[in-house]
Amino acid sequence: MNFSNNIKLLRKRKGLTQDEVAIELNMKRSTLSGYENDISQPNLDALMAFSTFYNISVDNLIKKDLTQLSEFYILQFEKNDNAYASGSELRVLATTVDNKNEENIELIPLKAKAGYKTGFADPEYIKTMVTFQMPFLSKDKKYRTFQISGDSMLPIPDGSWVTGEYVQNWNLIRDKHAYIVLTLDEGIVFKVAENKISTEGFLRLYSFNPFYEPFDVKVSEIKEIWKFVNYISSELPEPNTYNENLVNKINVLQSDVEQMKKHIGIRDGNLFE
């Protein structure tokens, strides 16, 4: 059943008729129609022909229901992304698209954070979110925007809107880069990551604000990861008080040195009288 629906979907995505695809695959239109309507089953040669034509593995053509996936995921299949082609577990993301079938950016405000912890995988819940587009972002990637709270990531102000790119392959998470991480225990957190997944099975998360201690999150507790792209805020970042204090201390120290030089100069003058 997946195969018939999949090849019908893929043909329509390309804007092709059954006659056009049949010619490309060197088969009769009636044969193709039989496959698409689940009346007949393809042999191995036919499966390989469909796989090559649509650039999707035979395994995915048969086992994955592409009609339930967003355009973002289908594009990843077509690009032979290693995370998909290797047959590893596919994390299906609940998402929305606009009237051009392009991925929306869903907006997750503070008041929705609690609901998002349990509703993140529910397509009906995600459909209730406000959506928008950022024309300067890639159409081939999936983005979502979260409102953050607190001072742990200063100078990014409390209440800022942080946009992230969906991360499918967690092994590609880069140390010292910022990510939005969803766990059922912590909820949505915005932190700098240290990737220890391959060696120890967890992420170590850090705050920009040194007042907050880093903490570890096991892979089994993580539900979603989004790579930081940009943020929007109506507030100016707090001034860097650390640097200001350092400058003030240097100025005081320089003043003390000048006083010491004057004092030593007077004493030297007295000695030579």
pLDDT, tens only, 61-114 = 998 888 877 776 777 677 654 444 333 445 668 889 888 888 999 999 999 988
- Is residue 63 domain-shared with residue 119, that is, in the same domain? no
Euclidean distance between CA atoms 151 and 116, whole angstroms: 21
137/177 same-domain check: yes
Residues 224, 121, single domain; the answer is yes
145 belongs to a structural domain: yes
| Three-class HEC string of 44-103 | HHHHHHHHHHHCCCHHHHHHCCHHHCCHHHHHHHHCCCHHHHCCCCCCCCCCCECCCCCE
Residue 76: inside a domain, yes or no?
no
Range(s) of the domain holding residue 38: 2-68
Residue 272 pLDDT:
38
Residue 189 pLDDT grade (very low, low, confident, very high; cuts 50, 70, 90): very high
Each residue of 29-46: pLDDT tens digit? 999 999 999 999 999 899
Tokens of 81: 């992304």
Domain total in the chain:
3
Are 216 and 273 members of one domain?
no
Q: Residue 90: inside a domain, yes or no?
A: no
